[in-house]
Chain A
Amino acid sequence: MPRRIVLGIRSVGHRVIDSVWRLGYAARFFSLILLKSGTSIRRFGLIIRELYFTGVLTMIIILVSGLFVGMVLGLQGYETLQKYGAETAVGTLVALSLVRELGPVVAALLFASRAGSAITAEIGLMKATEQLEAMGMMAVDPIARIVAPRFWAGVISMPLLAAMFSAMGIFGGYLVAVVLIGVDEGSFWSQMQSAVDFRFDIVNGIIKTCVFGVAITAIAVFEGYDAQPTAEGVSGATTRTVVTSALVILGLDFVLTSFMFRGVG
């Protein structure tokens, strides 16, 4: 067999083995986070501090984006629905789109770009400047002290941010449809209220955001902890967090949606 083909096969083999090894390493890392979460739960102040950085500081981008997404939905929804004389259903369209899909997914994408990348960069730089090793030498476990609080703060923040995104989006839809265009306010709210189901729409949306929260923060802390301790390594890890999170969010969204909304009218 020509040498070039052998080298090609070998290179594919190496990549597959590396990927499987890295997946196993990530799974082991994730179980270590869960095992070492005791410190974070006992000292909840550590999580509260991280909630500020991952949650509160992400609020602005979430609220502004939610408002604009809702406004666009209101505008596009009205444009289509008025052709069939169903413009009062615009509230239902805005609410269902946001609560079922756009709220969890767009909020998660924004969360990954804003908070996920920040977590990776911070942990990666702590590694590059030997802060994690210094902590280990002080007999303080960096996974328990640095990684776990950030992980739980992300998991708690994500559903709350997605809820804010959806609420702000509905308000944006209201502004456009009712205040600007003049759709009847009573119909807007009452149709929305009767069409949105608490169990199938809101609870399922919350489940999605929780799953996305776990996935994004797990990816972010892993990439930061596993980053090469150089400027190039940290920048590569940050990029990987955003790209992997985006793909995982969209993939998981399809899987979850196909289970949750099968046969629901």
Chain B
Amino acid sequence: MTTKALVEIKDLNFSYDERAILKGINMTMPRGKVIGIMGGSGCGKTTLLRLIGGTVTPSSGYVKVDNQIVHELGRNKLFSLRRKMSMLFQFGALFTDLSVFDNVAFQMREHTDLPESVIRDLVFMKLHSVGLRGAHNLMPAELSGGMARRVALARSIALDPMLVMYDEPFAGLDPISLSIIGNLIRRLTEALGMTSILVTHDVHESLKIVDYVYFISEGVIAAHGTPSEVRESVSPFVHQFIHSEVDGPVPFHYPAEKYATDLNLENRFA
């Protein structure tokens, strides 16, 4: 982790109403790497991406992207920073009233004055890189889950961003699509020299492609390291997570009254 950092997170705290979601998070994400963020559902992974993208504001601490503190930026500067980053949403978030071609062309038309002929060539190049050039005429409703994710990936790299954030890119995919998306993330990160932040709970696929991984549990970083380091980790949380164990530091049971109390056994046999 010696490369110059693109994203730096310092003492980051975030709460919804009174509920603390992230507590004192510190992370450094170097340029040109694939960084994994893992943790159970509802542990604050997606919130972390939103904080990096500036759609929510931290309670304290900061997120610095490309040497700019995100929550201190005005609207114009924030939008200008967002043009250099993009996000792949969990289910693609393709614009349902636009074709595959128009989805990928969307940012080019909004942010550049490129002639339509150049946009056409660029869109075909982006779609070719995800293997869906032939699907350019289809509407999002005609795509399978895996194809929609690949179109969203092509859309997210439309303007060659410096940073791409992936929110659960493997959720709900069959093993083949899952492997294709994993390979594409790795290949595109290297080919375009960008930085990728991968939020996921798919351990096996993500450990194959990430350079460094953070585990978040109950709003704090439970462990971090390279894939080989975390595989060898003795942390009970990481062990439970990587080996998909049912019970452990993350309990099987949601907090509840005593079982006997709920079944009224104490009164019955008192």
Contact = CB atoms under 8 A, between A and B. Distances in A.
Interface stretch (A74-82, A108-116, A133-141): A133-141
A136 B55 contact: yes
Interface residues of B, number: 20
Interface in B83-124: 83, 85-87, 89-91, 93-96, 106-107, 110-111
Interface secondary structure of B, over-half rule: mixed
Contacts of A125: 96
A137 B83 contact: no
Interface string A114-153: 0000000000011001110111111111000100000000
Nearest to B95: A131
Contacts of A145: 110
Contacts of A139: 79-80, 82-83, 110-111
A23 B82 CA distance: 31
A221 to B, nearest CB: 16
B219 interface: no
Contact of A131 (B55, B93, B111): B93
B93 A134 contact: yes
Interface string A134-175: 111111110001000000000000000000000000000000
B53 interface: yes
Given A129-B93, A129-B96, A139-B82, A134 B87 contact: yes
B106 A138 contact: yes
Contacts of B89: 130, 133-134
Interface of B: 53, 55, 79-80, 82-83, 85-87, 89-91, 93-96, 106-107, 110-111
14 contacts: A129-B91, A131-B93, A131-B95, A133-B93, A136-B82, A137-B53, A137-B82, A137-B85, A137-B86, A138-B82, A138-B83, A138-B110, A139-B83, A140-B106
